[in-house]
């Protein structure tokens, strides 16, 4: 429910739009910072002598910390509010990003990536809470699509931006510059964002603990299903530049621009997924069904187009297939976060979103490692693309069979 639904005056539409714009900006920087390593991985690997398997471990380090911090981050957002938590989080992750420039080997880079993961953990639970606080139910799907689109806007911007920075100031300078950008966004968020004037949680309701939530089968299905989505998205987030350079033999400057195209399609997919949730709800589907349908369809299509990339005869065909895969993956991604808002009890939106996201991140953390090991064993991206497609299909099946009713408080 929105504040208006709780019997309080609804927030000004301008304030809601500002909150959403600030979320989008913070989320874009969030993804630029985490994707910087993927874009710079060929140069870092060459300088520090990291093979594919060790690079896979490095690329996954962020995700383990990010995943383990999800539940505590969601709890903090529900208790302390988005303004304070995201200000601290932005400051922490920006400092960790800049500190990556100081690393002289694998241990230093892993430590910086772990700190980055801890800092970035509250971003998307905060987004779910902000949408729940500021938007009435009939507009939450599209609003979720907008804040979730940062997950593709950032990766779309990162390859050209980071490539230019690497070619001008080196990969270490690229980490410093992107870290400073995050510090600027932290200041903007602190100055301009305000939590709603009334609490979302009804005064008479008791806090909902993670233990109570964990007894709900729907929550487990959401988390397990999202593991397939996480694997799909993080295969591309971690290895798309490497695939284009090593698998398709594109140059670093060409990769910087070519890798942006699929993520621009993903940006559109996120908006389309949010719009689809609202359109299906208006057509009469339940809040759960109107979110589940785009999730299942998006994951199936994302897996199918990932499989088609194996058959691509040219670079253009491969980029087109991957662009379609990321479009549909992000249709699903927007609906996944919209499902958290629709399925969760009002006082536990951020916690439910965080637990579901933990599942996605656990699956996502496997993708860089498994890809690196398969590459080292076979020297080919064919098995890695096939594994990614199968993970997406598995996630779709779990959402379809396991998510049937809302989570009880």
Q: Is there a domain that residue 331 lies in?
A: yes
Burial class (CB within 10 angstroms; exposed 0-12, middle 13-18, buried 19+) of 149: buried
127, 338, 355, 123: which is closest to 222 by C-alpha? 355
Q: Is there a domain that residue 407 lies in?
A: no
Q: Is there a domain that residue 202 lies in?
A: no
Q: Is there a domain that residue 201 lies in?
A: no
Q: Is there a domain that residue 204 lies in?
A: no
Q: Is there a domain that residue 2 lies in?
A: no
69, 59, 70: which is closest to 34 by C-alpha? 59
Name the packing angle between helices 52-68 and 13-48 (round to 10°).
150
Q: Given this model, what pLDDT does residue 348 score? A: 73
Query: Phi-psi category of 249—alpha, beta or left, where left has phi over 0 and alpha has psi -120 to 50?
Result: left
Task: Evaluate whether 73 touches 358 at the Cβ level (below 8 Å).
Answer: no
For the beta carbon of residue 268, count every other beta carbon within 10 angstroms.
18
Q: Given this model, what pLDDT does residue 281 score? A: 92
Q: Which domain does 186 fall in, by range?
A: 13-195+209-402
Q: Given this model, what pLDDT does residue 201 score? A: 43
Place of tokens 């100031």: 169
Hey, what are 116's tokens? 């980055």
- Provide the domain count of the chain: 1
Q: Given this model, what pLDDT does residue 198 score? A: 56
pTM of the entire predicted model: 0.75
Task: Evaluate whether 352 touches 344 at the Cβ level (below 8 Å).
Answer: yes
Q: Is there a domain that residue 203 lies in?
A: no
pLDDT in single tens digits along all 409 residues of the chain: 344 444 444 446 788 889 999 999 999 999 899 888 888 888 888 888 888 778 778 877 887 888 888 888 888 888 888 999 999 999 999 999 999 999 888 899 999 999 999 999 999 889 888 988 888 888 888 888 888 888 888 878 887 888 889 889 999 999 999 999 999 999 999 999 988 765 454 444 555 666 677 677 888 899 999 999 999 998 998 788 888 888 888 887 787 778 788 988 998 999 999 999 999 999 999 999 999 999 999 999 999 999 999 999 898 999 999 999 999 999 999 999 889 888 877 767 777 888 888 899 889 888 888 988 898 889 889 999 999 999 999 999 999 998 888 777 6
CATH code of the domain in which 17 resides: 1.20.1250.20
Q: Is there a domain that residue 50 lies in?
A: yes
């Amino acid at each position: 429910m929105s504040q208006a639904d709780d019997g309080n005056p609804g927030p000004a539409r301008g304030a809601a739009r500002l909150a959403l714009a600030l979320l989008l900006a913070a989320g874009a920087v969030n993804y630029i910072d985490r994707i910087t390593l993927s874009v710079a991985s060929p140069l870092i690997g060459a300088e520090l002598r990291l093979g594919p398997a060790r690079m896979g471990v490095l690329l996954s380090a962020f995700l383990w910390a990010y995943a383990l911090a999800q539940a505590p981050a969601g709890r903090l957002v529900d208790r302390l509010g988005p303004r304070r938590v995201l200000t601290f989080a932005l400051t922490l992750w920006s400092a960790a990003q800049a500190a990556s420039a100081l690393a002289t080997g694998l241990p230093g880079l892993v430590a910086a990536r772990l700190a980055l993961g801890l800092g970035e953990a509250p971003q998307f639970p905060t987004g779910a809470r902000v949408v729940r606080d500021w938007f009435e139910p009939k507009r939450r799907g599209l609003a979720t699509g907008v804040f979730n689109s940062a997950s593709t806007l950032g990766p779309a911007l990162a390859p050209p931006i980071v490539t230019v920075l690497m070619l001008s100031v080196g990969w270490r300078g690229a980490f410093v510059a992107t870290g400073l950008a995050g510090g600027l966004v932290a200041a903007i968020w602190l100055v301009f964002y305000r939590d709603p004037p009334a609490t979302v949680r009804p005064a008479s309701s008791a806090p909902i603990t993670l233990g109570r939530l964990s007894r709900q089968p729907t929550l487990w299905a959401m988390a397990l299903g999202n593991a397939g989505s996480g694997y799909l998205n993080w295969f591309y987030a971690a290895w798309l530049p490497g695939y284009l350079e090593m698998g398709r033999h594109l140059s670093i400057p060409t990769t910087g621009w070519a890798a942006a195209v699929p993520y621009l399609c993903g940006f559109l997919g996120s908006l389309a997924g949010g719009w689809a949730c609202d359109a299906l709800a208006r057509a009469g589907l339940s809040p759960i069904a109107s979110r589940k349908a785009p999730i299942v369809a998006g994951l199936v299509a994302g897996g199918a187009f990932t499989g088609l990339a194996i058959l691509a005869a040219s670079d253009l065909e491969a980029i087109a297939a991957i662009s379609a895969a990321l479009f549909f993956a992000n249709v699903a991604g927007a609906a996944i976060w919209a499902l958290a808002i629709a399925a969760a009890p009002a006082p536990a939106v951020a916690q439910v979103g965080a637990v579901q996201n933990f599942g996605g991140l656990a699956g996502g953390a496997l993708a860089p490692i498994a890809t690196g090991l398969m590459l080292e064993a076979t020297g080919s991206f064919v098995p890695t693309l096939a594994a990614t497609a199968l993970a997406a299909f598995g996630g779709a099946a779990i959402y379809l069979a396991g998510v049937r009713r809302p989570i009880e408080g």
